[in-house]
């Protein structure tokens, strides 16, 4: 009687097939998470800018035009992250009067890794109205 010292070719092929199926399922799920973390970083940085604007409004009382980032106490290093640099952020409009602050902050991505359709965001805009409620909206990339 022969003793058996290992796996047969069929057993090894079954293991390779199972690992291949698991990889085929896991890779698309993981790649979508990169873009989700990208926009989470953008929203966090935009929240930092929003806090700076509210603090500036509390200090100055009122203003009618958007102040610069340095005026509200935000340096370029404060906004540099893994996916976006400080150049991606802009205060599109801002004003404050009678304790109410309104602003629009935009973050523009040079390119997005999102591949699931129909959304392929090229930019995100964070808007705060006079009631201090936030709305994040995405703009579609051209050619989607």
Per-residue model confidence as pLDDT tens digits over 119-139 = 455 666 767 654 556 677 777
Answer yes or no: is 3 within a domain: no
- Distance separating alpha carbons of residues 72 and 63, to the nearest angstrom: 12
- Are the beta carbons of 116 and 97 closer than 8 angstroms? no
Q: What's the structural domain count of the chain?
A: 1
Answer yes or no: is 99 within a domain: yes
pLDDT at residue 7 is higher than 90: no
Cα distances from 32 to residues 62, 114, 117, 124, 138, in angstroms, run: 42, 7, 12, 17, 16
Answer yes or no: is 2 within a domain: no
> Poorest-confidence range of 35-44, 45-54, 57-66?
35-44
Answer yes or no: is 1 within a domain: no
Q: 133 or 8: which carries more pLDDT confidence?
A: 8
- Are the beta carbons of 50 and 128 closer than 8 angstroms? yes
Residue 115, helix vs strand vs coil: coil
pLDDT of 114: 39
pLDDT of 79: 87
Residue 43, helix vs strand vs coil: helix
Domain that residue 84 falls in: 9-140
Answer yes or no: is 94 within a domain: yes
Cα 53 to its chain centre, rounded Å, is 20
pLDDT of 128: 60
- Distance separating alpha carbons of residues 74 and 52, to the nearest angstrom: 7
- Rounded to the nearest integer, the mean pLDDT of the chain is 78
- Distance separating alpha carbons of residues 141 and 121, to the nearest angstrom: 5
Name, of 76-80, 98-102, 112-116, the range with top average pLDDT: 76-80
What average pLDDT score do residues 115-120 get? 40
Answer yes or no: is 4 within a domain: no
């Amino acid at each position: 009687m022969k003793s058996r010292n290992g796996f047969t070719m069929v057993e090894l092929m079954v293991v390779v097939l199972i690992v291949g199926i698991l990889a085929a399922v896991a890779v698309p799920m993981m790649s979508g998470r990169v873009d989700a973390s990208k926009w989470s970083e953008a929203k966090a940085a935009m929240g930092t800018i929003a806090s700076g604007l509210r603090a500036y409004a509390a200090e100055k009382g009122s203003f009618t035009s958007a102040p610069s980032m340095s005026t509200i106490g935000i340096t370029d290093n404060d906004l540099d992250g893994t996916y976006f640099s400080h150049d991606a952020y802009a205060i599109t409009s801002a004003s404050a009067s009678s304790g109410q602050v309104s602003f629009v902050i935009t973050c523009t991505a040079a390119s997005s890794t999102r591949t699931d359709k129909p959304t392929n965001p090229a930019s995100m805009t964070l808007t705060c109205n006079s009631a201090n409620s936030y709305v994040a909206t995405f703009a579609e990339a051209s050619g989607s």
